[in-house]
Structure 1
Amino acid sequence: MSNPMITKVMGQELILERVFNAPRELVFKAFSDAEHLKHWWGPRGWTLSVCHVDFRPGGIWHYCMKCIDENQGDFFGYESWGKSVYQEIVDGEKIVYIDYFSDADGNEAEGMPSSLINLIFEEFEGKTKLINIAKYASAEALQSVIDMGMEQGVAQTWDRLAEHLQAMQ
């Protein structure tokens, strides 16, 4: 099932690409529906304990990832809250949102970098190429999330997405 994620860093942008063996509509739905997101969002060993999605421009996705894997040492039991505010949605093609670290009440976490995310869903040889372009306020802000292990976390999350898509078909 190995289908590597391609990573490019360009200034203050992180560009991630991967091809998923699923129709574009299904991949898009996996990103837009809370019932789908609960199955795959987050790295291995993490679960979405909270997932509220208001999927429309101006709507908010507020979630909590919780580490349920005892093998992850200090992270076991740890919660990481996030909030996304949808800017633009083109059904089946594109989702644009601002991504924040947050607290349980949805307040943006101070001192943590936010990013403008462009998710692009392209038809690709009967599959779907997903392109995630994350723009940060500065190259330093981008480097701080890379240093947190975000790239590895996304790779694991997208592996879980691939497994979820396979199970859905």
Structure 2
Amino acid sequence: MAMALQVEITHTFHASRELVFQAFTTAEHLQNWWGPKGWAFEVSEADFRSGGVFHYSQKPDDGDVMWVKFEYGEIDPPEKIVYTSYFSDEAGNVVRAPFDANWPMRILNTMTFAEDEGQTTITLITAPVSPTEEEAKTFEASHDIMREGFGSTFKELDTYLAKK
């Protein structure tokens, strides 16, 4: 895979690595901060282990429900999470992204968690899995939008962690 297709995003949280890791691996935490601000969020399935899945829906006030599913390849508490994500239907079957027919069908995500003096820096590397040429172009053209989206989501987690 071409390095240009990878997106690397880092963010530092003012919380312990254990708490930040838990925020990414428990439905009780995730339902309080994951996704775009103001969107409804519901967990359908949460099995946070290697081989497990996280299946959820999210919905903006003025739009349709979108389903997303994560399939976990590796969970190494509290250091690393590797998962493949994709848009799905309510039953969990892979479907095309509702916003772009050329969005890659599957995305591989690797998150690492490093703690230093009570702060935790996560590094997220995300890349399409076996994209077509059109999917690769769409993904590459979306790097800035992905950084903005994850940045906004991580700010939601900042706010949530400040209450813990």
Give TM class, smaller chain.
0.7 to 0.9
Q: Map residues 13-32 of structure 1 onto 2, 5 A cutoff.
A: 13-32=6-25
Unaligned residue ranges in structure 2 (runs of 5+): none
SS at match of 1:26: helix
Give 1:88 deviation, angstroms: 0.5
TM-score normalised by the chain length of structure 1: 0.82
Give 1:141 deviation, angstroms: 4.6
Q: Call closer, same or farther: CA 1:51–1:127 in 2, change over 3 Å.
A: farther
> How many pairs align?
152
Q: Call closer, same or farther: CA 1:98–1:52 in 2, change over 3 Å.
A: same
Q: Map residues 95-110 of structure 1 onto 2, 5 A cutoff.
A: 95-110=81-96
Query: After the TM superposition, which parts of structure 1 deviate over 3 Å for at least 4 consecutive aligned residues?
Result: 144-147
Structure 2 match to 1:160: 156
Q: How far does the alpha carbon of each residue in 1:109-143 deviate from its partner, in whole angstroms, 9 at most, with x for none?
A: 14541211101000133200011100214542523
Q: Map residues 1-12 of structure 1 onto 2, 5 A cutoff.
A: 10-12=3-5
Give 1:146 deviation, angstroms: 4.1
Alignment partner for residue 143 of structure 1, among 133, 137, 140? 140
What is the CA–CA distance in structure 2 between the aligned matches of 1:154 and 1:65, rounded to whole Å? Answer: 15
The amino acid that maps onto 2:137 is E
Structure 1 match to 2:55: 62
CA contact (8 A) 2:13 2:158 kept: yes
What is the CA–CA distance in structure 2 between the aligned matches of 1:87 and 1:37, rounded to whole Å? Answer: 19
Give 1:144 deviation, angstroms: 5.6
TM-score normalised by the chain length of structure 2: 0.84
CA contact (8 A) 2:27 2:43 kept: no
Q: Call closer, same or farther: CA 1:145–1:61 in 2, change over 3 Å.
A: farther
SS at match of 2:20: helix
Structure 2 match to 1:128: 120
Structure 2 match to 1:4: none
What is the CA–CA distance in structure 1 between the aligned matches of 2:23 and 2:125, rounded to whole Å? Answer: 18
Bigger share in strand: 1
Structure 2 residue 41 is matched with structure 1 residue 48: yes
The amino acid that maps onto 2:63 is G
SS at match of 1:25: helix
CA contact (8 A) 1:62 1:106 kept: yes
